[in-house]
Chain A
Amino acid sequence: MMNEIAVMLFTPLIAGILAWIINVKGIRETIGVLGALVPFALLVKEYSTVVNNLYNPPTYQLTVSGFNITFKLGTLNWYFAAVASLVGVAMAFGMISTSRNSYDWLFAMMSYTGVLGVFLSWDFVSFFLLWELMTFASFMMVLKRNRHESLKYFVLSVIGAYAMLLAIALIYAKTGALNFDDIRHAMYLDAIMGGMSKSETILIFALFLTAFGVKAGAWPLHVWAPGAYSENDQSYTAFFSGALSKAGAYGFLLLYILMMVKLYYVMGPFHGHLTFAYIIAWIGAITVVVASFLAVLQEDIRKLFAYSSIGQVGYILLAFGVGTWMGFAGGLFHVLSHAVFKGLFWLVTAAIILQTGKTRFEDFGGLAEKMPITFAMSLIAVLSLAGIPPMAGFASKWLIYEAAIQAHMPLVAGAIFLGSALAFAYVVRFLYAVWFGQRPSDLEDVQEAPLPLLIGMAILAIPNVVFGVAPGLVTKYINKVLSYMLFLFGERKVDVSIVTGSYYKLVTPTGTYNALTVTLMLVVGLAIAGLIYIYGAKARRIPVTNTYQSGNPVTEDYNLSIRRNFYRPLAEALEFWLKYSFDRFYERLAGIAEDFADWLREGFYNGNVQAYSWYLAIVLLILALWGVL
């Protein structure tokens, strides 16, 4: 029966390979969509099993090359896998319109399998293997379009992955366990007995921090994201940023599950917080602020959303770093809401780029009339991202706010306030530049986005609204996730219900948010305002070019929309900070390494026979000194 886990894991991969081999337009798309739908359908089917076996989750084990591999479908795993497959289905629909060949299908579906595998694995062998599969597939997607950006992504991912491998090796050497359950037990015992030294524990923590930080795009390891997210098939980026980056966030949770007690014993508390969690919270807070500032200053639609993705994942890290149950609840909710609104944003971007072929803000304008449905979808995404009350994005942010303030992390909470104002600023920039104002003459014959892409958008837009008006649907499930996590932490079977209330209402110990009432009041307010509007005289429609220009006549020749450097004053105010860039720092570091490699090659492999005989002599001398000869 539990072969279903295997089916849901490997269907996308098989579908991707089939689509690659068959490569007939029409058939490969069908196979791809079916491959994406199967895991989603199976996860929906398994829902009741997962919820009813809270403390004894469905498990699937097999032996590969002498390793015992375990997959588990606990409530936590199910949640992440369900979010990923929801975005995966939307991605598949989007790719029907945007992918041009079977290469995209092969690697997109391969990374789908990788992501699901990472979320379902319950031991480090399969976790690491599928992690690498996911990284490789996403790297191949970027490689086809931009070599430099792909290599940047690849090198950082490799650093992350091998940091993880080192950490796994250290854990294995100390505990002899690879299965998560065993590791947890061993770490728990170790915390009491003190078998592992302080520096080793901190080293493992730092290595994991690097590994998961790279994938999540945490500052200062975020530099791959803007390039990799933009030089890609934008439908795939919906999955890349919506689901794949969550693997990093999931990794941070895993860190808690595996080593919380040990880390607490070793690193101790800091002003009432767990020190290691406090570090994660600050990494999250800095990521939010830095990435959001950079997003505001971008001039390219893809770069803007790339930085915004980094910032929003920062919220998740920050929430996990708060370290209370409320923090976990907020972070988990934000995993879902970020996946749905950012996935939607990328699909909208895919549609815009598909229909216009342009990416820079200065080339757009006035598209709202040409692509009304896409515009409506992007408006939903904007409202959700900016955190306007009846949307999913608000509910999750609300939880994070309350968690951070309750946990007495005021400065971290201040970073969220700043970050959400910045989010307002960059979504408005996007709205203004793309949808409003004068339309350049070369965009006159733009059409509405194709149907499959619109279906993909609708798949992601509906959860934005539904989970926004009824956030209780999500928090009720999150309570189950938290109970499972508590069971994993402390092995007590207690049902945690940290966020109570009904389907429409969230209640925490200190605050309430009734999404339905807020929605109703907004509707009432809109109705009153609408009545005043209708009461007034009928409005006459005039073109955008018939506008106030200090009383001067305006013709089509003048571009009156501000398309370039919209936030110039902010860039000027931040001049000092913008001088420092991690991107440039890494580029310089890479340059130094390259020069060093050149020097090595030219210095040693120089074609001079006498030099080689000298090497031989030196080696012999060393051996002689060592006493071998």
Chain B
Amino acid sequence: MVAWKLILEAIGILIYATLMGFIFMGIERKAMARIQRRVGPPIYQPLIDTLKLLGKKESVSHGFIYDFGPVFALGASIAALLFIPIANFQLFSSSADLIVVAYLLEVPMLGIMLGAMSSGNPYSALGVQRGLLTMVAMQLPYGLAIIALVQHWGTFKLSEIVALQQLHGWSILVPALLIAMIVFDIVFQAMLGLEPFDIITAPAEISMGPMVEYGGKHAALLFTQHAVQLFAETAFFAVLFLGGASNLLELLIKQIAVLFIAIFVASIYPRFTIDQAAKFFWKWPTILGIIAVLLTM
């Protein structure tokens, strides 16, 4: 028996998520421009960029792993997306729970880093180092926020977390989980790679870090991966703290709301250095996380 409906839904969501991810990237650029009193590019600009990159006549490669890295990253992002309940589409969310999704959302990073390292470029290596240290730094508050959430709702299943929120109100209405949400939102900035935690790519500092060697179709793959990841992560946020959604429009509103907070923060803060970021994450977000966790015991 083949669940055609499920497969069709998955394909539909994938296409929708990719397009929307690109639009989100466009919104990011547009909003950033408006904050700085520029007109900015049209909202579909990232899509055009990606298509242009895909149309390049030649691309270069440093070997098998260099090619495999971006492919693996995009593959893992797609897999992660399919396990998150997107609005009223449950997709495969009954097969994997919160911990699996949280892990899958980190796997693309490994793919990007694998590819970047095999290029042998010192800027890439520096970017990889910063990326991993950011991850080490943010993981403790991130983990604490998730633990607080799970302890409050008593389940790891994402669809059940959504159902419970629709029954008892959104997560953020619970004081302890509001604190957890603040922690998660700070970490979220680093997950999206936005200022003040855009330490990994750090344009103008280490010339795009891991992506420095990538051009042509590899860069197109990484752009697509970023789009899918952006959609998946904002949806993940909405599912965990904003009560999920009953249709795609509701989800879209919540996603854009989350995105706008991230953009507003990003556009007024300069970048942290990596050791400042580590010290910051291990101070305030961790303390808040511990408070949230203890409140939900």
Contact = CB atoms under 8 A, between A and B. Distances in A.
A413 B147 contact: yes
A526 interface: yes
Contact of A414 (B75, B117, B147, B278): B147
Interface in B39-65: 54, 56-63, 65
Nearest to B228: A525
Contacts of A505: 95
A53 interface: no
A265 interface: no
A73 B266 CA distance: 61
Contacts of A569: 129-130, 133, 273-275, 278
Contacts of A524: 75, 78-79, 82
Contacts, number: 257
Contacts of A590: none
B74 A511 contact: no
Contact of A541 (B56, B61, B125, B278): B61
Contact of A408 (B56, B82, B216, B297): B297
A562 B125 contact: yes
A326 B258 CA distance: 36
A17 to B, nearest CB: 46
B95 A413 contact: no
Contact of A548 (B73, B106, B128, B212): B212
Contacts of B73: 529
Classify the interface of chain B: helix, strand, loop or mixed. helix
A425 interface: yes
Contacts of B169: none
Interface string A70-98: 00000000000000000000000000000
B155 interface: yes
Interface in A550-580: 550, 560-562, 566-567, 569-570, 572-573
B87 interface: no
B131 to A, nearest CB: 9
A398 B136 contact: no
A421 interface: yes
Contacts of B65: 368, 436
B175 interface: no
Contact of B140 (A414, A435, A533, A540): A414
Interface stretch (A340-348, A354-362, A381-389, A617-625): A381-389
Nearest to B113: A428
Given A401-B99, A428-B113, A512-B157, A547 B136 contact: no
Given A410-B147, A569-B273, 10 more contacts: A410-B293, A424-B132, A510-B97, A517-B95, A517-B96, A524-B75, A529-B78, A539-B59, A540-B59, A547-B121
6 contacts: A386-B110, A431-B117, A521-B82, A522-B75, A533-B217, A542-B60
> Across chains A and B, which 10 residue pairs bring their CB atoms closest together, nearest first?
A536-B217, A417-B143, A525-B75, A525-B78, A511-B156, A421-B139, A514-B95, A526-B75, A529-B74, A539-B61
